[in-house]
Structure 1
Amino acid sequence: MEKAIGVIDSGVGGLTVAHELMRQLPKEKLIYLGDTLRCPYGPRPREEVRNFTWEMVEFLLEKDIKMLVVACNTATAFALEELQQTLSIPVIGVIQPGARAAIKFTQNNHIGVIGTEGTIRSDAYTNALKRINATIHVNALACPLFVPLVEEGILNGDQAEQVVEEMLHPMKESNHIDTLILGCTHYPLLRETIQTVIGDHVTIISSSEETAREASTILEFHNLLLKSDEIPQHQFYTTGKLDIFSQIAEDIFSEPVNNFKTVTIEKAVIC
């Protein structure tokens, strides 16, 4: 039996990455785990995020995955390097691909980054951007209310726009950026509202497409691409309630999605 690509996230946001992986790599099987029970990760201490991330990873390793995609920016910032050094399979995060895409699109070298408190505090995007181009000006802003909004399924309408307007006000005040990185995989689910608030003159970058491209390149390099023509049977796990999780998945994938299960990752027992 061919091995799957494992994808982890703090909640539903990583489904945007999973969807892009499914689009670019239609033959590959995915096993997705979203830790919705303990979401959000952004306000949590580094060590706690690291521990939670390893619990998710250990659950997926039991599924004998061939690659790990860390679709959570906070987990990428706090645990990616350790995972890459420890695991024997390829491990990729979402920060480096997002930074490369932003560098490609900016015209004035002023890039905004919005993310969770943990991601912004880590300076992971600022460091990644400046490693590529030291002249880049980075305006980084934590938007802690976005993840709870998404996890509740409030993606548009007056309430969403009010919260986004409030959070992005400091960035709009500066008015210099021409490119904005959505530094959390939950944020693409608010993309239309964010674009309305920030203005059409700003190019919005989601790391999902670039991350999927990087996964494809690495799988090909390691000769791990699936050769079978069978339709892959993806698996989706959540540590929290299934209703909102499955509804958001259907909205992202634009079709009914099956094979959802709730799991307790501390013991890796399916409920």
Structure 2
Amino acid sequence: MQQAIAVLDSGVGGLTVVKEVMRQLPFEKILYFGDTARTPYGPRDAEEVISFTREIVDYLIQYQPKMIVIACNTATAVAMEDIRYRVNVPVVGVINPGARAAVGRTKTGVVGVIGTEGTIKSGAYDTALKRLSSRIEVVSRACPSFVPLVEDGNFRSIETFRTVSEALSPLRDPTMDCLILGCTHYPFLADCISEAMGSEVVLINSAEETARDISTILQENNEMSDVEEVPVHQFFCSGDPRKFQDIAQAWLGEQIRLTPVVWQVPHIGA
């Protein structure tokens, strides 16, 4: 019960999931790995993403986590089934929770999906959405310029808004009422994305639904933490530790200031 929930991502994007897990499950210990040295994963081929994901999971498994959360849409799309086969703990991804949230919110049945090249190419969201409802029409677009902006901590500049607006202009459709942020980096750009798409388009961030899935699985397995005290979280990154820590502290805000955190740079991905 006191074992950690391991969360991995290609960089800082998975912190959006961590923030929601901290909010919903404040007594659960988090073990986070951001592969900032090798981000982004989106342009890489599937075999390379699978290899990187295996490497990170092999590293994290030494800490004996009770669950692994692949908080990267690209890795979820191409590597999740492989990881499920390799480990004996539950493995949770972010695609099905995001699709479920969109189907629950759309009124027109037209759902947009933005993500990395790898995620969009995989068709994973199309499959997940159509599995939930055959009436859904999916409009997808890869936005490869977004992840570098987030990894640089450039969330709200004029340059960022211009980049976001240009990338999303082909998606503007009066019948679309939901847009899935199909990369966990993208919620960092939510203000710019919302301004570009208009207030009538609901942005779907899978973090909240993913945290609910985590809670449900832990309850079903009787693995919820039974100690009501603040845990010590561990955050790993494979790249520049100062940049990673600055972004993590800015994004997690009060939640991370109230909890003890160990920051570490492992010998992986360098």
Quote the residue 1:56 is aligned against: 56
Match of 1:175 in 2: 174
- 1:265 is aligned to 2:262: no
Cα deviation 1:230-267 (Å, max 9, x = unaligned):
21000000000012211111121114654211112269
Determine the structure 1 residue equivalent to 2:201: 202
Q: Is it true that 1:251 corresponds to 2:254 in the alignment?
A: no
Could you say which residue in structure 1 is the equivalent of 2:129?
A: 129
Residue number in structure 1 paired with 2:239: 240
For 2:268 and 2:215, the matched residues in 1 are separated by 28
Partner in structure 1 of residue 26 of structure 2: 26
Distance in 2, matches of 1:118 and 1:260, equals 29
Look up the SS of the partner of 1:264 in the other structure: coil
Q: State the Cα distance separating 1:86 from its structure 2 match.
A: 2.8
Task: Map 1:1-271 to 2 at 5 A.
Answer: 2-172=2-172, 174-255=173-254, 258-265=261-268
Deviation sequence 1:180-231 (CA, Å, 0-9, x none): 0000000000001100010000000000000000000000000110101221
Amino acid at match of 1:262: V
- Return the alpha-carbon distance in structure 1 between the equivalents of residues 246 and 170 of structure 2: 32
Moved more, 224-233 or 143-152: 224-233
Using a 3 Å threshold, how does the CA distance of structure 1 residues 153 and 266 change in structure 2: closer, same or farther? closer
Equivalent position amino acid for 1:264 in 2: H
Cα deviations by residue, 1:121-152 (Å, 9 ceiling, x for unpaired): 00000000000001100000000000000000
RMSD: 1.3
Alpha-carbon contact 2:72-2:94 (below 8 Å) kept: yes
- Matched to 1:36, the amino acid is T
Structure 2: stretches of 5+ with no match in the other structure: none
Structure 2 Cα separation of the partners of residues 251 and 204 of structure 1: 22
Query: What amino acid does structure 1 have at the position aligned with 2:44?
Result: R
Give the secondary structure class of the aligned counterpart of 2:251: helix
CA distance in 2, matches of 1:142, 1:176: 20
| Pair 1:117–1:266, CA change in 2 (3 A) | closer
- Is contact 2:27–2:228 with CA below 8 Å preserved after alignment? yes
Please say if residues 113 and 140 of structure 2, whose CA atoms lie closer than 8 Å, have aligned partners that are also in contact.
yes
| Contact 2:238–2:269 (8 Å) recurs in 1 | no
Cα gap change, 1:27 to 1:215, in 2 (>3 Å): same
Q: Does the 8 A contact of 2:38 with 2:269 survive in 1? A: no
Percent identical residues: 50
- Structure 1 segments (4+ residues) deviating >2 Å: 255-258
- Count how many residue pairs are aligned between Structure 1 and Structure 2: 266
**Residues 54-96 of structure 1: per-residue CA shift (max 9 Å, x gap):** 0110111011100000000000000111222332101000000
Query: What secondary structure sits across from 2:176 in the alignment?
Result: coil
